[in-house]
Amino acid sequence: MDYNTNYERWLNHPAVDEAMKAELASMGEKEKEDAFYTNVEFGTAGMRGILGPGTNRMNIYTIRKANVGFAKYVLGLENGKERGVAIGYDNRHMSYRFAIESAKVLATYGIKSFIFESLRPTPELSFAVRYLKCAGGIMITASHNPKEYNGYKVYDDTGCQLIPEWGDLVVKYVNEVEDELDVKVCSDEEAYPYMTWIGHEVDEAYYKEVMGIEINPGMDKSGFKIVFSPQHGTSNIPVRECLGRLGYDVVPVLAQCAPDPDYTNTKSPNPEVPASYELAIKKAKEVDADVVVICDPDGDRLGVVAKHDGEYVLMSGNQSAAVYLEYILSQMKEKGTLPNNAVMYNTIVTSDLGELVARSYGVDVEKTLTGFKFIGDKIRKYEKTGEKTFVFGYEESYGCVVKDFVRDKDAVQAVLTAAEAGNYYKKQGKDLVDILNELYAKHGTFKETQIALSKAGAAGAARIKEIMDNLRKDAPTEIGGVKVVASEDYQTSVRYENGSETTIDLPKSNVLKYYLEDGSWIAARPSGTEPKCKFYFSIKGTTADDAASKTEVFHKAMMEIIGE
């Protein structure tokens, strides 16, 4: 069905209210095409898109359609109806409405739901699924995306986002829905008997587990100051409760504490964007804080700024995770609690530094595709077999999990780890950046960067496909004057090296990775949640300046190769 036919179907359908029809009528041709040329789809982190009318937008009709698919998945599980589904939501526009619509669709299929009484962070939803022994979970969030977005993530009964094996089944059921506007939904009155509100009990159970991750719980916390911002999102209460109960001196950025869907007082809700730290760093300078921590709106990602030599230094997700690892593993080793079969998980686009830190302590490392569901699935498998013991998992995009009572990335846990590590090292006359520099001296200097090419709409999707197709047809043999010694194509599951091919034992994914002769690597991957083609650079240098200089060369060379 072409976009004009789809558009006319919505414009004239009796289920679409007058307000939405007025919005449709005001659309320009380009906006109309983008809203209707395709369906909003599941990616690495569920379904995410711009709010508004259209098949390629987040609205009550696309939410209902998605929930039909998830409801049928739950019905296929043992006692799925009775075990029910936990539902959480963040501070975004329409989040509460989408949560209620989700519960109503589930009720239409006779499935119970357990809905948080107010907004909660994504990791607490993951925890709630496990705590309440639900058959699955739903989180309404668009994570760190701009205010125009919202999203929908689904979880299995372990609190892990659905892996492809189960996610594909949900997609199959979703695609069986011929018309999202004709999805039958029971009334509020009919849904109420299936709906249970949850709150304080789950909160307290979650807080107890989070506070229990401390490695040195008796450590004096005086003289260590933390500035914290939830970026108008869900982590405000959990983080301040946990840090406060443990005795930390926390200074909140009050202007960013209210759960504002428009993110009024931040330039970006994304910790990957340096501008998002402006108010927090200003506050840190006022109070002479040791560490700044900011969470993204749904509380699963954490950004860290450390005071170093009188300046506030922003650490990347790769850098902060390497320091967390060093702290956790060194302390476990010192206390004799590091398991002999310990394993750490990260992804194929994560820096090599964390792996080197882990292996220096005898910890095994396993890589997964991008998407924390793959790390959660690894935890589940080894939990069953007992073959390995989980000690840490992280992605480069500012997300990690310390203890596996949550099976998604957890910024609340990460805040406590950053605070404890920062306090511990301060007592030794060091800061988090000092520890990072020590790791560089020991393992080599790395600089990790990204280029994200935004390519919106049908033309953008075609251009992203063209970029990836061209890289496959004409694979680079050198980049920036440095020889490519090996490459990996995760779509075909093949690694090429020295004229031979080996199989990559991971699910198929549209990712290309190039290993360079100098120990650097570059990867290309279309985003699973945004209209972007991402390029990841992990550049190894002899010094920080050398790595930075080489990074500029590789950035320019890669853009020339793809014609941008």
Distances in whole angstroms, Cα of residue 523 to Cα of each of 177, 327, 455: 36, 29, 18
Do 120 and 230 form a contact (C-beta atoms < 8 A)? no
Give the Cα-Cα-Cα angle 317, 323, 325 (nearest 5 degrees).
100
Helix (H, G, I), strand (E, B) or coil at 167: helix
* Degrees to nearest 5, angle at CA 444 with 441 and 448: 120
Specify whether 143 is catalytic: yes
Q: In this structure, which amino acid lies at residue 498?
A: N
Q: How many CB atoms lie within 10 A of CB 560?
A: 11
Write out the DSSP string of 475-518: --SEETTEEEEEEEETTTTEEEETTEEEE--S---S-EEEEETT
Residue 187's nearest CA partner among 126, 105, 264 is 105
User: Three-state DSSP class for 142?
Assistant: coil
The three-state DSSP-derived secondary structure of 261-330 is CCCCCCCCCCCCCHHHHHHHHHHHHHHCCCEEEEECCCCCCEEEEEEECCEEEEECHHHHHHHHHHHHHH
Q: What gap in Å lies between CA 519 and CA 244, rounded to an integer?
A: 43
222's tokens: 């005086």
Q: How long is the chain?
A: 564
The type of residue at 134 is C
8 Å CB contact between 317 and 394: yes
CB 300 within 8 A of CB 143: yes
Label residue 46 exposed, middle or buried (CB < 10 Å: 0-12, 13-18, 19+): buried
- Phi then psi for residue 82, to 5 deg, are -75, -40
| Dist. CA 556–CA 289, nearest whole Å | 38
Residue 315 token pair: 């650490």
Q: Which two tokens stand for residue 318?
A: 């790769």
Assign 3-state DSSP to the chain and report helix, strand, coil percentages, each to 5: 40, 25, 35
Structure tokens at 255: 């202007």
Query: Which run of H or of E encompasses 46?
Result: strand 46-50
Sign, Cα dihedral of 242, 245, 246, 249: positive
Catalytic residue among 113, 143, 520, 538: 143
Name the residues annotated as catalytic.
Answer: 143
